[in-house]
Amino acid sequence: MDTEYKIVCLAGGVGGAKLAEGLARIVPPEQLSIIVNTGDDFQHAGLYISPDLDTVMYTLGGVANTETGWGRAGETWNMLETLSTVNGPAWFKLGDKDLATHLTRTYIMSVGGTLSQVTRHFRAAFKFKPALIPMSDDPVPTNIETKKGDILPFQEWFVRKSWKPVVKNVLLPEDGRLSPTAAQALQNADIVLIAPSNPFVSIDPILNMYPARAMVEDLPRAVVAVSPIIGGEAVKGPLGKMMADWGMEVSATAVANHYGDLIDGFVYDSSDEMPFTADMPAHATNTLMQSSENRVSVAQEVLEFAISLIKR
Ligand code: FO1
């Protein structure tokens, strides 16, 4: 796809990784930046873990475990099995191959490297070209306030409690700031694409990084969000449950309304009704990204739709 536009994709885990992979196949790498949520990051057994960055990185590197949506393909679990025998913290499953990533990230950060430097270091190792950028270089953890009144670190809620506790609020840090490279990418963006990730725990954390929201509102000539809801359901993860728990309609329309006037256009799945949102340009297609072919076709359609908005 020959486009001179600079494209920034805001991405969380699995949905973000799939759109990023499709974009990486059609956009020249120097014109594509992927800004990834780091609100799920945490210290686990002394290791610095960045789940969404790793999911996008492994996907762009062609080594992602597509069954689980996290970790690496062809994984072995010797360390984890042994960890259990010595009563180590085995609730968060670390595969032997995946462990190499966490050890390397933790090492580089222990000698003063930033998360952005770590991510650039991995770009060479995993042989992908687009800029993969953490939303912030500082710890900006997302916490979950449950209806029962507990405040859980994200992975405690997501993994340890399998996102069963009903969410009252998603608590985002007040003082988070974009990483310098993320700010620069948004500064130069012509098009911002919001991936079909969870708006509340993957995309809002990115927009919460000062001054991301203002930059997205003011700068690019087209901001397009892709619906993470298909056929009235979330493809994966806690989104459907969260929306239902909040009494929201689990629909593409509800997601479009959540983004509101931040976006100029919305791409939704043909199986859903046209999102009735005040004169929001919308484009329907098959947004399910199973194979790498349709990751490319979805990326192509999203990009063409965004470009059409610029030319309007
Ligand atoms: N998710 C799980 O449900 N169980 C796990 O044991 C688990 C381990 C894990 C290890 C590394 C990693 O990068 C991700 C991992 N995830 C696991 C997924 C992770 O919790 C989620 O990917 C995000 O935080 C939400 O998108």
- Residue spans of the domains in the chain: they are 7-63+129-145+171-311
pLDDT mean over 199-220: 95
Q: Is the pLDDT of residue 152 over 60?
A: yes
Distance 50 CA to ligand 1 centre (A): 9
Cβ of 233: how many Cβ atoms within 10 Å? 14
Which residue's C-alpha comes closest to atom 2 of ligand 1?
159
Q: How far apart are CA 118 and CA 53, in angstroms?
A: 11
Whether the per-residue pLDDT at 178 is higher than 80: the answer is: yes
Count CB atoms within 10 A of the CB of residue 196: 34
What pLDDT is stored for residue 241 in this prediction?
96
- Give Cβ neighbours of residue 97 (< 8 Å, ≥ 6 apart): 63, 71, 72, 74, 75, 76
pLDDT (tens digit, 9 = 90+) per residue, 267-299?
A: 999 999 887 776 889 999 999 998 889 999 999
Assign 50 a pLDDT band (cuts: 50, 70, 90). very high
Q: Domain 7-63+129-145+171-311 adopts which CATH fold?
A: Rossmann fold (3.40.50)
Substitution candidate for ligand 1 out of 92, 94, 142 with most atoms within 8 A of CB:
92
Return d(Cα 33, Cα 109) in angstroms, integer.
22
Check: CB of residue 139 under 8 Å from CB of residue 157.
Answer: no
Find the range with the poorest average confidence among 1-10, 24-33, 134-143, 146-155.
1-10
Q: Is the CB of 98 under 6 A from ligand 1?
A: yes
Average pLDDT, the chain: 96
Mean pLDDT, to the nearest integer, of 17-41? 98
Would the CB of 155 count as within 6 Å of ligand 1?
yes
Please return the burial class of 95, using the count of CB atoms within 10 Å of its CB with bins 0-12, 13-18 and 19+.
Answer: buried
Strand-strand pairing, 7-11 and 191-194:
parallel
Percent of the chain with pLDDT over 90: 92
pLDDT at residue 279 in the model: 81
Of all protein residues, whose CA lies closest to atom 1 belonging to ligand 1?
A: 159
Percent of the chain with pLDDT over 70: 99
Q: Is the pTM of this model over 0.95?
A: yes
